[in-house]
Amino acid sequence: MSRFVVNGGKRLCGEVEVQGAKNSALPILSATVLTRGENILYNCPKLSDVDASLRILRYLGCDAKEQNGAVLVNCDGLCENEIPDCLMREMRSSIVFLGAILSRTGSAKLSFPGGCELGPRPIDLHLKALRKMGAKISERHGVLQCRAENGLKGAKINLSFPSVGATENIILAAVLADGTTTIINAAREPEICDLCDFLNCAGAKIYGAGEGVIVIDGVTELNAVSHNIIPDRIVAATLMSAAAVTKGDITLSGVIQNHLSSVIPVFEETGCQVNVKDGNMKFSAPERLNPMPLVRTMPYPGFPTDAQAPLMAVASICNGTSVFVENIFENRFKHVGELTRLGADIQVQSKVAVVNGVKSLYGACVEAQDLRGAAALITAALIAEGKTEISGIEFLERGYENFEIVLSSLGAEVRKV
């Protein structure tokens, strides 16, 4: 188990490139199952979740490796249609392999992903949609057994909530299905668009990605492609948070401004200056931050649930009160107790957190309990007086590539021990 030791109070300055998006890389790695030949993925972040996906691909019989900074995946040799429990448990998003494996082999057996650190994460919308496409699914003893021996059929699917994972699974099941699939109330996240760009480049016919209605005309085969994964908007928001708390002045390269359209105004309201030009974001923070406007997490293009925790660390030292409403996950305030140990003043009632900004935070031993919560604790530690030790770094490493090196290159004093 590794820990981060942070000596707070160092102003962040300098330039870093934003890593590739985890939430694009994982569904795209699942999508390779549907292709013939060798795919080359550039800008694929080095993360434990990506590693888990590569191990699933290898277990299925695919050739998946890293070479010269790219990830190469060839699924011609796929010979398994089952993901063992130990691999499913490593990563909740392994459920996006379901649509792809079912489509490729006509059956799939996966253990039920169950709950996770964010609370219950049901997959009823995924299963309902696959059933509508002709899959027979049984759920027994925590195992999902799915069959579509005669292939999947296009269908009209109305999602009651624009679930990211369900939209991805339906797209993966539909691209090689017989006929046309229409997803109504589809998720509009940039990572959905990236998945569709990958698949369209491979020969799929997907229309409307990024909009509420996606139409997919099934094709008979997909070929391998080279693809550049989009930059990670949540890592960008975390680095902006780190610069904000330290009164920093940083440049982030490889940023797509539109992907941050709900995040940038929150920082601007606190008095930070944000300028994006040609994919470079210049970000500078004032001496004292104003409180944030009401932050309500929503499906894209609303404020992302994944950015809630790091921004709450910023709010904890703003000059006034900020309010957060978490609308996506039940259990996404686990960082609050630990931020309080660092001196933050935060009250939580159900899905609302009221953050009364304090003048300063102080170092303490804290424990991360989920990925974005870990990012929040590190952000707070960067400004806490003295030394902060953060355990639970394995959560951070699911989504942030070499984060201690990235922060150190900007002048932070962070060591991994």
**135 part of the interface to ligand UD1, by CB under 6 A:** no
Write out the E strands in 209-357: 213-217, 222-223, 226-228, 249-253, 273-277, 280-284, 295-296, 321-325, 345-349, 352-356
13 included as an active-site residue = no
Instruction: Output 227 or 259, the one with its CB closest to ligand UD1.
Output: 259
Instruction: Output 227 or 332, the one with its CB closest to ligand UD1.
Output: 332
56 and 83 Cβ atoms separated by less than 8 Å = yes
Interface pattern 305-334 for ligand UD1 (x via CB under 6 A)? xx---------------------xx-----
Half-sphere exposure of 80 (CA within 13 A, CB side): 15
Instruction: Output 94 or 163, the one with its CB closest to ligand UD1.
Output: 163
Write out the E strands in 45-167: 63-67, 70-74, 82-83, 107-111, 136-140, 143-147, 156-158
200 and 34 Cβ atoms separated by less than 8 Å = no
**188 part of the interface to ligand UD1, by CB under 6 A:** no
Instruction: Output 162 or 218, the one with its CB closest to ligand UD1.
Output: 162
Q: How far is the CB of 161 from ligand UD1 (least distance, A)?
A: 5
Instruction: Output 122 or 293, the one with its CB closest to ligand UD1.
Output: 122
Q: Pick from 21, 52, 64, 166: which binds ligand UD1 (CB under 6 A)?
A: 166
Q: Pick from 19, 23, 270, 379: which binds ligand UD1 (CB under 6 A)?
A: 23
Stretch that binds ligand UD1, among 59-67, 106-114, 202-210, 303-311 (CB under 6 A): 303-311
**50 part of the interface to ligand UD1, by CB under 6 A:** no
**53 part of the interface to ligand UD1, by CB under 6 A:** no
**122 part of the interface to ligand UD1, by CB under 6 A:** yes
| Sequential DSSP letters for 237-256 | HHHHHHHHHTT-EEEEES--
Instruction: Output 274 or 375, the one with its CB closest to ligand UD1.
Output: 375
125 and 161 Cβ atoms separated by less than 8 Å = yes
**164 part of the interface to ligand UD1, by CB under 6 A:** yes
Is-cis flag, bond preceding 301, omega within 30? yes
**299 part of the interface to ligand UD1, by CB under 6 A:** yes
Whether the CA torsion 222, 23, 157, 111 is positive or negative: it is positive
Rounded-to-integer distance, Cα 73 and Cα 147, Å: 25
Interface pattern 225-264 for ligand UD1 (x via CB under 6 A)? ----------------------------------------
Instruction: Output 165 or 392, the one with its CB closest to ligand UD1.
Output: 165
Q: What angle do CA 303, 116, 293 make, to 5 degrees?
A: 20
Stretch that binds ligand UD1, among 69-77, 161-169, 201-209, 235-243 (CB under 6 A): 161-169
Rounded-to-integer distance, Cα 219 and Cα 199, Å: 11
Q: How far is the CB of 184 from ligand UD1 (least distance, A)?
A: 15
Q: Which of 3, 21, 414 is nearest to 242 (CA)?
A: 414
The neighbour count for residue 108, using CB atoms within 10 Å, is: 25
**395 part of the interface to ligand UD1, by CB under 6 A:** no
Among the listed residues 75, 86, 116, 193, the single catalytic one is 116
Q: Pick from 42, 161, 268, 365: which binds ligand UD1 (CB under 6 A)?
A: 161
What tokens does 182 get?
């229409």
Q: Identify the three-state secondary structure at position 13.
A: strand
- The H-or-E segment that residue 361 falls in is none
If binding means CB under 6 A, how many residues of this protein chain bind ligand UD1?
19
For 66, 104, 247, the CA distances from 97, given in Å and listed in that order, are 20, 11, 42
> Which residues would be at the binding site for ligand UD1 (CB under 6 A)?
23, 121-126, 161, 163-166, 189, 299, 304-306, 328-329
Active-site positions read 116
